[in-house]
Amino acid sequence: MKWKYLKKKFRYNPKRSVLFLFLFFFLTSFTIGYAFLTKELSIEGSSRLVGATWDIHFENIQVKSGSVTPTTAATITNPTTVTFGVVLENPGDFYEFNVDVVNDGTFNAMIDSITLLPELTSAQQEYLEYQVTYVNGTELEPFQQLDVSSRETLKIRFGYIDGIDTSLYPLTDQELTIEVEIVYVQADENAKPIMSLTPGDYLLYYPSKTNYVFNEALVGGSGTVSFNPSELTLWRVLSINSDGTIDIISEHVSSASVYFSGKTGYQNFVGYLNVLASQYETDNITVGSRHFGYNGQTEFITDTEYINAVTPWTCDTGGNCNPKPDDFESQGGGDLLYLRDYNLVNDVLGTTVSSNIAGEEVSNWLASRYYSRRGERFGRTVAGSYGLYQNYIYVGGAPTVYEWESTIRPIVTLSSQLSYLGSGTLSDPWSIIQ
């Protein structure tokens, strides 16, 4: 298939803002070299072979939220052609859309060749980005297979890069004609599946922070005072999200433990675990984070009416009493919301048990509170091979202060703008390419 982008103009004005006028003409034609396959074959008598079909085409354009309003919206003007036009006026402006390539024929296809012309100069690469990849960031490569009755989603993105030195922007008008040509042919013995991230895959990710000091005022306890987020470098793919982002969970838990104790520790338990998880984020690579087990629970409990009561409910969290404590999650009644992550990790990885980087099986916190009918308040944990467990934090109305520790297991969300190399195995994990 052939894509052309015509007359990209960059203009400079005295205010040092750069006007990008992009007139992209996105043409796609599938090269077909098998004329004999399109003919009907017949045998004299009562038997007949129905003609084979070769049908690869575009479907389903979806423009990403935040894209600039185009002068011509991305449109499939015929089955193998998409056209659009867009003006990017300010640094940070972009236009991005996904489009499906569909094989509705009777033969498996594969990519024969890919041509991208021209190569951007080093100067142009400083202020201009354009990407043509699969939606999860995987690069297009020869021999990648497109099976019968299947589809693959491509991501096309053009952007005016923000945050660079103004001297790097062009000062004169420029015109670029960019052509991307992808040729699909009938699949043969060289065809291979598209190498893309799959839940359960191993991935290398290096958090940028090297130290974080615990806020003892929020945890209500003492103990270890800091930890090093950058120690966790081996991760597992947990889920591929519909917007192209990817959730990954650390294969190991933190070497350091965090203590929660008393009413303060119980109130801030979930929220502060999320604060700790956010220390594993990295600018331009991640777009979010959460601690293992978080699924919308109240992060910091401010309504203390039931927190101060000794036994406000007569059954445990998840039990059968009226009212149920988990109906009062925001007031400290505990929750079952952790089950989303707990079950997901168990399904994808085959276990929720984890170890520290030294290989020692240890417990880790779950971002979920638990209430006991005796008035005891807990933070949930995964206690190694023992499975789900609860650690005492607080007893309502009692002066007793419990102080329990456990480790951190973060989940971070990778940007949809990344690409990857590798195969996802333990011996050859995915590596991130920006």
Q: What is the dihedral of CA 229, 330, 351, 254, to 10 degrees?
A: 20
The pLDDT tens digits of the residues spanning 346-368 come to 999 999 999 999 999 999 999 99
**pLDDT beyond 90 at 28:** no
**pLDDT beyond 50 at 395:** yes
Of 389, 385, 379, residue with least CA distance to 351: 385
Of 372, 267, 262, 268, residue with least CA distance to 311: 372
End-to-end CA distance of the chain: 26
Q: What is the per-residue pLDDT for 285?
A: 96
Q: What is the per-residue pLDDT for 413?
A: 98
pLDDT band at 23 (very low <50, low <70, confident <90, very high): very low
DSSP 7-52: -EEEEE-TTS-EEEEE----B-------GGGGSPEE-SSS-EEPPP
CA distances from 250 to 202, 203, 323, 413, 432 (A): 10, 9, 37, 12, 15
Q: What is the per-residue pLDDT for 430?
A: 93
Is the separation of the CB atoms in 393 and 405 below 8 Å? Answer: no
Is the separation of the CB atoms in 9 and 174 below 8 Å? Answer: yes
pLDDT band at 174 (very low <50, low <70, confident <90, very high): low
Query: What is the share, in percent, of the chain residues with pLDDT greater than 90?
Result: 45
Q: What is the per-residue pLDDT for 192?
A: 82
d(CA 354, CA 337): 21
d(CA 90, CA 166): 12
Q: What is the per-residue pLDDT for 15?
A: 29
Helix, coil or strand: residue 330: helix
Model's pTM, two decimal places? 0.64
The pLDDT tens digits of the residues spanning 61-113 come to 999 999 999 888 888 888 887 777 787 788 888 999 998 999 999 999 999 98
What is the H or E stretch that residue 290 is in?
strand 286-291
Task: Identify which has the larger pLDDT, 398 or 231.
Answer: 231
Q: What is the per-residue pLDDT for 123?
A: 86
Helix, coil or strand: residue 92: coil
Distance of CA 4 to the CA centre of its chain: 30
Lowest mean pLDDT among 115-124, 200-209, 256-265, 338-347: 115-124
Mean pLDDT of the chain: 83
The residue length of the chain stands at 434
Here the contacts of 77-82 (C-beta below 8 Å, separation 24 or greater) are 80/1, 80/28, 80/29, 80/30, 80/56, 81/26, 81/27, 81/28, 81/29, 82/3, 82/26, 82/27, 82/28, 82/58
**pLDDT beyond 60 at 218:** yes
Highest mean pLDDT among 18-32, 75-89, 260-274, 286-300: 286-300
Highest mean pLDDT among 69-83, 139-153, 219-233, 266-280: 266-280
Helix, coil or strand: residue 277: helix
Lowest mean pLDDT among 20-34, 162-176, 277-291, 372-386: 20-34
- Output the six-digit token pair for 404: 């329990």
pLDDT band at 121 (very low <50, low <70, confident <90, very high): confident
**pLDDT beyond 90 at 173:** no
**pLDDT beyond 50 at 427:** yes
**pLDDT beyond 90 at 168:** no
Q: What is the per-residue pLDDT for 82?
A: 78
Q: What is the per-residue pLDDT for 224?
A: 61
Q: What is the per-residue pLDDT for 301?
A: 95
Is cis: bond before 70, omega within 30 of 0? no
Q: What is the per-residue pLDDT for 71?
A: 84
Highest mean pLDDT among 126-140, 223-237, 327-341, 392-406: 327-341
pLDDT band at 399 (very low <50, low <70, confident <90, very high): low
Task: Identify which has the larger pLDDT, 224 or 191.
Answer: 191
d(CA 286, CA 235): 13
